[in-house]
Amino acid sequence: MTHNADIGIRELVKQIAVWLGIVVLLPLATWYGVSAFSTPPDKRENAKALAKINEQIQDAKEEKDKGERDKLRKERDRLQAEEEEAQRQFYHDMFWVAYPTGLAATILGVFLPVQAVGAGLMFGGLISLATGCYAYWDRMDAWLRLGSLVVALVVLLALGTWRFWPARAEQRIVA
C-alpha cells in the first residue's frame, strides 16, 4: 500500500468517526437537554406506589372492607392519572425541542461543505426529529402527526431537489 493510500484510509476513518459521533451525540444531547429542564416521570417510584396500593387493596378484600378498597382504588387511579400527565408533558416537551432541532440540523447539514459534519448533522437531525415524533406520537392529535410528517417531507424534498438538481451536481463535479 502506498503512503498516499494509507493517509487516505486514515482520513476516511476519521471522517466516519466524526460522522458517527454527530449521528449519536446530537439525538442524545437533545434527549438529555430536554430531560434537564423537563424532568421525566420516575416510573420506578410510581410502580412502587402502585404495588403498595394494590397490596393494600388485596388486604382490604380479605378484610371485606369495601369503603377502604374504594378509597385505595381512587388513590391508585389518581397516581396513574398523575403518571400519565407527567409522561404527556415530558414527551410534549421532547417533541417541541427534538423536532425543530432535528429539522434545523438536517437543513444546516445540507449546506455544510465538510461532508462528515454535514452528513452527520443530517443523519443526527433525522434521528432527533424521528425521536421527537416517536416519543409523543400516541399523544398527538391526528393533525399534528400529519403536519409534522408533511413539513419534514417537504423540507427534505426541497433540500434534496435543490442540492442534487442535475445542473448543480455537474457544477460540484467540475469544481
pLDDT of residue 91: 94
Extents of the domains making up the chain:
3-41+91-174
What's the pLDDT tens digit per position in 1-15?
577 777 789 899 999
What is the rounded distance in angstroms from the CA atom of residue 90 to the CA atom of residue 94? 6
What is the rounded distance in angstroms from the CA atom of residue 87 to the CA atom of residue 143? 21
Q: Which three cell numbers stand for residue 163?
A: 442540492
What is the rounded distance in angstroms from the CA atom of residue 1 to the CA atom of residue 41? 56
Contacts of 37 (CB under 8 A, 6+ apart): 93
pLDDT of residue 64: 64
pLDDT of residue 169: 61
Radius of gyration (C-alpha) of the chain in whole angstroms: 25
95 pLDDT more than 80: yes
Strands (E), 72-132: none
pLDDT of residue 66: 72
pTM of the model: 0.79
Interaxial angle between packed helices 66-111 and 3-37, expressed in degrees from 0 to 180 and rounded to the nearest 10: 140
What is the rounded distance in angstroms from the CA atom of residue 108 to the CA atom of residue 159? 10
What's the pLDDT tens digit per position in 97-153?
999 999 999 999 999 999 999 999 999 999 999 999 999 999 999 999 999 999 999
What's the pLDDT tens digit per position in 16-57?
999 999 999 999 999 999 999 998 888 888 888 888 888 887
pLDDT of residue 124: 97
63 pLDDT more than 70: no
Stretch among 53-57, 79-83, 98-102, 159-163 having the lowest mean pLDDT: 53-57
